[in-house]
């Protein structure tokens, strides 16, 4: 396994923080496919799916709370 340099670790950490922030505040897929989007974004709501947004938002936030309770073991957002 290759050892990451300090700036590579910071980039990974920044990406993870951005993915978790997006899951908490706005778990909606982008209108167009984004290269390099985090794996957890696959379970986000479809763009334009406003009917299920309020109903499923708490599930996405609960998944993040589970992540915080078990460091090192990320949980996936709830499936649609």
Q: What is the pLDDT of residue 26?
A: 86
Q: What is the pLDDT of residue 41?
A: 83
Instruction: Identify the residue whose tokens are 């982008």.
Output: 30
pTM of the model: 0.62
Per-residue confidence of the chain (80 residues) as pLDDT tens digits?
Answer: 467 788 888 888 888 888 888 888 888 888 888 787 777 788 888 898 888 888 888 888 888 888 766 665 555 666 65
Q: What is the pLDDT of residue 72?
A: 58
Neighbours of 76 (CB within 10 A): 13
Q: Is the dihedral of CA 24, 49, 44, 11 positive or negative?
A: negative
Q: CA 11, CA 36: separation in Å to the nearest integer? A: 13
Query: Contact at 8 Å (CB) between 61 and 78?
Result: no
Query: Contact at 8 Å (CB) between 78 and 42?
Result: no
């Amino acid at each position: 396994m290759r050892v990451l340099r300090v700036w590579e670790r910071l980039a990974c950490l920044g990406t993870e923080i951005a993915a978790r922030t997006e899951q908490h505040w706005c778990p909606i897929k982008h209108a167009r496919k984004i290269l390099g989007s985090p794996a957890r974004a696959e379970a986000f709501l479809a763009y334009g799916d406003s009917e299920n947004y309020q109903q499923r938002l708490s599930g996405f936030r609960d998944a993040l709370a589970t992540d915080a309770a078990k460091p090192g073991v990320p949980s996936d957002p709830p499936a649609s």
